[in-house]
Amino acid sequence: MHARLHVTSVLVDDQDKALAFYTDRLGFVPKTDVPLGRHRWLTVAEPDAPHGVELLLEPDEHPAAKSFKDALVTDGIPYTSFAVDDVGAAHRELEQHGVRFIQPPTAMGDMVTAILDDTCGNLIQLISPA
C-alpha cells in the first residue's frame, strides 16, 4: 500500500473569515464548497496544483478542538506549516497587508521560518530554504 495526502485540515473559528484569509493573504484558491447544515465542506488548494492536496477549513466547534487550539497558541506552537519560496519576502508582503506575526523570519539551520496568526484561532508556520 502507498498512501497519499488527499485532504488535510486546519480548525477555524469562522469559515468565511478563514476562506478570505487563506485565499486573499496566503494565495490558496477555493476548491470545494458544499453546504453541510450550519457549516460547509470548504476546501482550498494551491493555485499551481488545483487538483492536488486540499486544505479543509474545518469548523472548530468540538470542545476538544477549542482547548487544543488554545493550548497550541498559548505555547506558541504552529498548528501546521506551509512552504514558501522566500520566508523573508513573504513576511514583508504579508505584514504590508496587516498580517500579524508572532515570530519574524528566523534562521533554523538550513531553513528559515516565521510564524503568523491566521485570524481564525491558529498559528501557522511559513518555511523556506535558507
Per the structure, the complete domain to which residue 73 belongs is given by 7-129
- Is residue 1 in a domain? no
Q: What is the pTM of this model?
A: 0.94
- Per-residue model confidence as pLDDT tens digits over 65-93: 999 999 999 999 999 999 999 999 999 99
Supply the CATH number for residue 90's domain.
Answer: 3.10.180.10
- Is residue 2 in a domain? no
- Is residue 37 in a domain? yes
What is the spatial distance between Cα 114 and Cα 92, in angstroms, rounded to a whole number?
11
Q: How many domains does the chain have?
A: 1
pLDDT at 67: 94
Cβ atoms of 49 and 43 closer than 8 Å: no
What's the DSSP call for residue 76? T
